[in-house]
Structure 1
Amino acid sequence: MWLPFDNPKKMDYSVLKRSSLPEFAYIRVLNGDTESIVFLENERIVGAWHLDLNTLEENNGHTAMEKIEINQDSLIEVYEADEDLFRTLIELNDESKLSIPIEAEIILNEMFPDVSSREELLKKYRIQVPGDEAIERLINDYKS
């Protein structure tokens, strides 16, 4: 896998929304003992690479996509590239190209959930906030 060190620009993904993803980007996912790179063009995944750091097994393309995992402990870095640099990256990492691009929704939903309010998050994860009566009942049960 060949990636530049001085360019492109690393983006702050903590405030990044799916709608503000750059037209040309690559995403680096560090997850425990694996590293993955996903190449994005116009919200479509056009290439992928995956490395198991324990076995040093490398996977490219669709096989790499099957192995990418994103969880709460994953470190995600988003890099923006201009079109020329992006084309160069794809050309130099030709083995990582997908034969058919994949809608980026499958991976972006994991990284950048489009939830903006506390209520939406609670609803999404089916978390019910206890009311005053429930809290009072818990306190009384605890005291007895």
Structure 2
Amino acid sequence: THVQSQLEKLDLLEQEYNKLTTMQALAEKKMQELEAKLHEEEQERKRMQAKAAESTSPSHAVVANVQLVLHLMKQHSKALCNDRVINSIPLAKQVSSRGGKSKKLSVTPPSSNGINEELSEVLQTLQDEFGQMS
């Protein structure tokens, strides 16, 4: 019976050893996965930093595009206008009433003061959007 007791203890120790070996293998595998994920995240962070550096490089493409739009607006290039503006055709807007029916409203061409106000609004909107982008 002493030998039987020793064999049972040995069997329990072998089971515990196998369990610990399996746990160690799982832990090592998990560590490798985490190290790979960490490496991937570091690479992604470096790519993002490089992209951010490109975005703030001296080219200032967004600023140049906004400045070009503002310049073209100031020049009032007829090439950019649609037929309504070129031919000074009044704009007819569809305005829906509460009953869901629509009626036409004739809008007269705005005065130069009105145009300045509209351009100021457009400029302000562009500046606000540009401010949000930077």
Q: TM-score, normalised by structure 1?
A: 0.24
Higher relative contact order (CA 8 A, sep 6+): 1
Asked which structure has the greater CA Rg, the reply is: 2
Q: Which has the higher strand share?
A: 1
Q: Which has the higher helix share?
A: 2
Q: TM-score, normalised by structure 2?
A: 0.25
